[in-house]
Amino acid sequence: SREWHLLSRPVGWPKPEDFALVEAEVPQPGEGQVLVRNVYVSVDPYMRGRMSAAKSYAAPYELNKPMQGGAVGEVVVSNAEGIEAGDHVLHFFGWREYAVVDAAQAVKVDADAAPLSTYLGVLGMTGLTAYAGLLRTAAFKEGDSVFVSGAAGAVGSQVGQIAKLKGASRVIGSAGSDEKVKLLLEEYGFDAAFNYKNGPVSRQLREAAPDGVDVYFDNVGGEHLEAAIGSLNRGGRVAVCGMISVYNDTEPSPGPRNLARLIQTRGRIEGFLVSDHYDLQPQFVQEVGPWVRSGELKYRETVVEGIENNLEAFFGVLRGDNIGKMIVKL
Ligand code: NDP
Using alpha carbons, select from 175, 214, 173, 158 the residue that is nearest to residue 322. Answer: 175
Task: Provide the β-strand partners of residue 42.
Answer: 327
Q: Give the model confidence (pLDDT) of 90-129 as tens digits.
A: 999 999 999 999 999 999 999 999 999 999 999 999 999 9
pLDDT of residue 148: 99
CA distances from 273 to 54, 195, 242, 284 (A): 18, 27, 9, 16
Q: Is 322 in the pocket of ligand 1 (CB under 6 A)?
A: yes
Helix 154-165 to helix 125-132 angle, to the nearest 10 degrees?
Answer: 50
pLDDT of residue 89: 98
Number of Cβ within a 10 Å radius of residue 219: 26
Ligand 1 atom having least distance to the Cα of 222: 19
Q: Is 116 in the pocket of ligand 1 (CB under 6 A)?
A: no
Fold of 2-121+299-329: Quinone Oxidoreductase; Chain A, domain 1 (3.90.180)
Q: Which of 225, 244, 246, 280 to mutate to test the pocket of ligand 1 (most atoms within 8 A of CB)?
A: 244
CATH superfamily name and code, 125-275: NAD(P)-binding Rossmann-like Domain (3.40.50.720)
CA distances from 94 to 87, 220, 222 (A): 17, 25, 30
Q: Is 13 in the pocket of ligand 1 (CB under 6 A)?
A: no
- Spacing, Cα 29 to ligand 1 middle (Å): 35
Q: Is 44 in the pocket of ligand 1 (CB under 6 A)?
A: yes
- Spacing, Cα 86 to ligand 1 middle (Å): 34
Please identify every stretch of the chain with a pLDDT value under 50, giving residue numbers as ranges: none
- Spacing, Cα 320 to ligand 1 middle (Å): 8
Q: Is 241 in the pocket of ligand 1 (CB under 6 A)?
A: yes
Q: Is 219 in the pocket of ligand 1 (CB under 6 A)?
A: yes
Q: Is 156 in the pocket of ligand 1 (CB under 6 A)?
A: yes
Which amino acid is present at 46?
Y
* Atom 48, ligand 1: residue with shortest CA distance: 176
Helix 281-294 to helix 154-165 angle, to the nearest 10 degrees?
Answer: 80
Complex-level ipTM beyond the 0.90 threshold? yes
* Atom 27, ligand 1: residue with shortest CA distance: 155
Distance between CA 106 and CA 281 in Å, rounded? Answer: 16
Task: Indicate where the chain has its CATH 3.40.50.720 domain(s).
Answer: 125-275
- Spacing, Cα 66 to ligand 1 middle (Å): 24
Q: Is 204 in the pocket of ligand 1 (CB under 6 A)?
A: no
Q: Is 177 in the pocket of ligand 1 (CB under 6 A)?
A: yes
- Spacing, Cα 48 to ligand 1 middle (Å): 11
Q: Is 213 in the pocket of ligand 1 (CB under 6 A)?
A: no
pLDDT of residue 254: 87
Q: Is 317 in the pocket of ligand 1 (CB under 6 A)?
A: yes
pLDDT of residue 9: 98
pLDDT of residue 326: 98
pLDDT of residue 55: 87
Q: Is 126 in the pocket of ligand 1 (CB under 6 A)?
A: yes
pTM for the full predicted model: 0.98
* Atom 17, ligand 1: residue with shortest CA distance: 245
Q: Which of 50, 219, 245 to mutate to test the pocket of ligand 1 (most atoms within 8 A of CB)?
A: 219
Distance between CA 196 and CA 223 in Å, rounded? Answer: 10
